[in-house]
Amino acid sequence: MVTKSRHALTHALHKGEEWIFRSPKIVLSLVLLVTILFGCALPSLRVYTDFSDLLPQNHPYIKVYNHLKENFGGANMIVMAVEVERGTIFNDETLKLIHDATQTVDNLPGVNHNLVNSLTHRTARKVFLDDQGGFASESYYDAQKPTRTVAELEQLRNDVIANPTIYGLLVSPDMKAALIKAQLNEGDIDYPATFAALQKGREILDKPGHKIYVTGNPVLTGWVYTYLNQILLIMMWTLVLLSALLIAYFRRLYGIALPLLGIALSSIWGLGFMAAMGINLEPLSLPIPFLIAARATSHGVQLVVRYYEELAIVHDGKKAARNALDALFRPGSLAIIVDAVGIAVLMLGAAPFNFKLGLAAGFWGFSVIFTVHFMVPLALTILPAPKNHENGNQGIRDFLARTMALTGGTEGGARSILILSLIGAIGGAYFVTKVQLGESEPGSPLLHLNHDYNVSTKAINTRFPGSEELHVIARTEEKGGIKRPEVMAAIERFQAHMLSDPTLGGTKAMPGVLRVVNKLTHNDDPRWMQLPDTSDEIGGLMFAYMASSPIPGALKEFVNADENEANMVFYYKDHQAETISRIVVLAEEGIKKIQAEVPGLHIELGGGIIGVTAAGNQALHTDHMIIIPAVMLIAFVIVMIYYSSLHAGWLMVLPMLFSTLMTYAYMGALNIGISVNTVPVIAVGVGVGIDYAVYFMDRIREEYALLRDMKKAVVNAVATTGYAVSFTAVTLVAGVVLWIFMSDLRFQSDAAILLCFMLIVNAIAAVLIVPSWCVVFMPKFVTAVHYDEDHILEND
């Protein structure tokens, strides 16, 4: 029954091929029409980063983050430091520079003016009792007073030291630097415009004897945008390199022009689809479109190579084109479909970015069937046949055949290859254990260690408690519940619990403010620097603090308007995976303990860059455990159905398993973490192996059906398809290799190295492991084949 169904399917496809070749101009016209339609959508394609797309929106941390970011601040924070080289910041020149820097940051596009913090900002105020015993406040810095006496500067210094929300957090403990912090409104962030204004401001602020450092997620994203012109340059040189390779390989017009035309058509379809669907092109994901375009080239190369092989036999251009499609339509379509579905699996990821990338890249990969797999042979049928019918590069093919005959073409050599592969896999498993989920080093791995961003981050984290913030919200069920004494005490206990982590640089919350104000109400007696015993007293201190400030929202960074939510901020020096895992475990322990002690109190993670990164890492772990196995499973199922053989499914996936294992070993050895940016790269790279293996396996089956000798079939397959696979591997590597040398974005350079490694290992695995397995185990789906009456290869 299965054999009959398969026979019916293959012959239906055969009939479809016949119609296609009877109407090549109609099919090519349809491809051209769709290309024009997608081309019309290209002007609306946008290249930008949507921060919310990178977050797993259904994760509980992100739900908390989305709730609190407007009141208490999100992860899109700009942090600027002004550092004096000699002395302290308490001199007129440096204080004015800090004030100018604050104004510069406050005037940036998209800044939330209510969430700007600085020693010289209007919200940073000294609270005191006036002559009548009432509360009053004044700014630490008066811009209308450009000079101060030595005594006034000393008093300012003492006032700063006395305020725990300023000293250590906005002014460094050694008094040599001051911070300016600002939150961006996440609804409409224009990263390029904000970054350009920031860089212009830095140039203006540059003064002798001072250093300006800037860090934060918007700054990092802004730096990435500055490399877009470089990315376009890399794209141009990549096309030049691919053209040069095609010229060197084919030295014939069709072999050069048609694969390049396939790149153009598939790129227009893929990018046009993204534009039509409103999907933005993420700058950090650009190596993936490059790889998909290069894969389109590889399929075109396979078809043109087979065309020239057939042309040398039949000496008829149309017949050679038909034979090439007859031979490669099914394995090529299988490879393309597995590619496309494997990439589309990214849609299972938790972040909207993964869904969009999976949808767009999956369609792009599938479109290769029309833009390359049909287009190339049909174009060859209507183009004049080449006069030269000889195969080129015959010497290299003969060399590959001789090499295979001496190694994998013998039973002993084949067994040795399989044993060495097993030993390599076992050795690689050791390094796989060293791979981390999340960032594996301080700063940003997107940029080089000596980049201005990473230098700034290190300098700020050296002087201050840390630029990486974790926001934790304490929530009560009733309005005004935060004023309950047991709630305030619980918040302090949670802060103390988190301070048991030695990497925590500092913390800020409402209890610290209350202690300072309580002391002021009792003649500045330090013995009264404690939390009140009643809700009324706490409410009175909060009111007194707000009343003392002429600026509305004096407590907005600590408590919401309904006084049922309070914000706690914790400062760390990095967001490495190890750091975040430790923080989350510690926080969850504290939450469980304190919530049990105080009925009606809920403590929830987590905002700030630490909170969203923790959510991303946890979602990434789930995504990673789903996406990569799903790619393998889908490839196995599709190949198994196609060949009606479990053995076939296993054998096609075997090179993918080997190359994936070696890729993780490579990442572990080089300390490359698995992040939201690297998972798509791995998923796309994993699927490449199926291309090589399917083309190679189908050629072995063809040769065996003719020769009925496995060793000779393997040798012939290596000499023909093996050589084409080797070249397509070189082509794919060429599609991304220039990123290694030309991209100043470290991530893109590292991703290109990772992809090159995967592509090479995939090719080696397909060319060595697949034929060696066939020689040793003689799988039935390879040996039990024949050509039917329509010269279609089928199982016995």
Give residue 621's Cα distance to chain centre: 14
Count of beta carbons in the 10 Å neighbourhood of residue 206:
11
pLDDT in tens, 647-699: 988 888 888 888 888 888 888 887 777 776 677 777 777 766 677 788 788 88
C-alpha–C-alpha distance, residues 305 and 294, integer Å: 16
What do you get for the CA distance between the two ends of the chain, in Å? 13
Q: What is the pLDDT of residue 796?
A: 63
Backbone angles phi, psi at 180, to 5 degrees: -125, 125
Q: Which residue has the higher pLDDT, 202 or 690?
A: 202
Q: In what order do the strands lie in the sheet with 111-118?
A: 111-118, 177-184, 77-84, 210-215
Neighbours of 213 (CB within 10 A): 23
Average pLDDT over residues 779-786: 82
Q: Residue 21's pLDDT is what? A: 76
pLDDT 10s digits, 15-61: 666 777 777 888 889 999 999 999 999 999 887 777 777 788 888 88
Q: Which residues contact 439 (CB under 8 A, 6 or more apart)?
A: 445, 574, 575, 576, 577, 613, 673, 675
The burial of 789, by beta-carbon neighbours within 10 Å (0-12 exposed, 13-18 middle, 19 or more buried), is given as: exposed
Average pLDDT score over residue span 189-195: 86
String of DSSP letters for 26-71: HHHHHHHHHHHHHHHHGGG--B---GGGGS-TTSHHHHHHHHHHHH
Each residue of 401-453: pLDDT tens digit? 787 777 777 888 889 989 998 998 888 888 888 877 766 566 677 788 888 88
Alpha helices in 120-252 (DSSP H): 150-162, 191-205, 217-225, 228-250
pLDDT band at 180 (very low <50, low <70, confident <90, very high): very high
The pLDDT confidence band at residue 229, using thresholds 50, 70 and 90, is confident
Q: Rounded distance, CA 672 to CA 6, Å?
A: 45
Residue 83 predicted with pLDDT over 90: yes
Residue 621 φ/ψ, nearest 5 degrees: -60, -45
Distance CA 381, CA 383 (A): 6
Q: Quote the CA–CA distance of 535 and 730 in Å, as a whole number.
A: 72
Average pLDDT over residues 134-147: 79
Is the predicted pLDDT of residue 271 greater than 80, yes or no? yes
Above 60 in pLDDT, residue 168? Answer: yes
Asked if 435 contacts 673 with a C-beta cutoff of 8 angstroms, the reply is yes
Q: Is the pLDDT of residue 294 over 80?
A: no
pLDDT tens-digit map of 546-580: 777 666 667 888 888 888 889 998 988 887 778 88
Residue 391 has pLDDT above 60, yes or no: no
Quote the Cα angle for 748-752-754, to 5°. 115
* Token pair 């990214």 in the structure block, residue: 346
Q: Tens digit of pLDDT for each residue in 87-100? A: 899 999 999 999 99
3-state helix, strand, coil in the chain (%, to 5): 65, 10, 25
The per-residue pLDDT of the chain, averaged, comes to: 83
11 — pLDDT class (breaks 50, 70, 90): low
Q: Is the model's pLDDT at 82 over the cut of 90?
A: yes
- pLDDT for position 408: 73
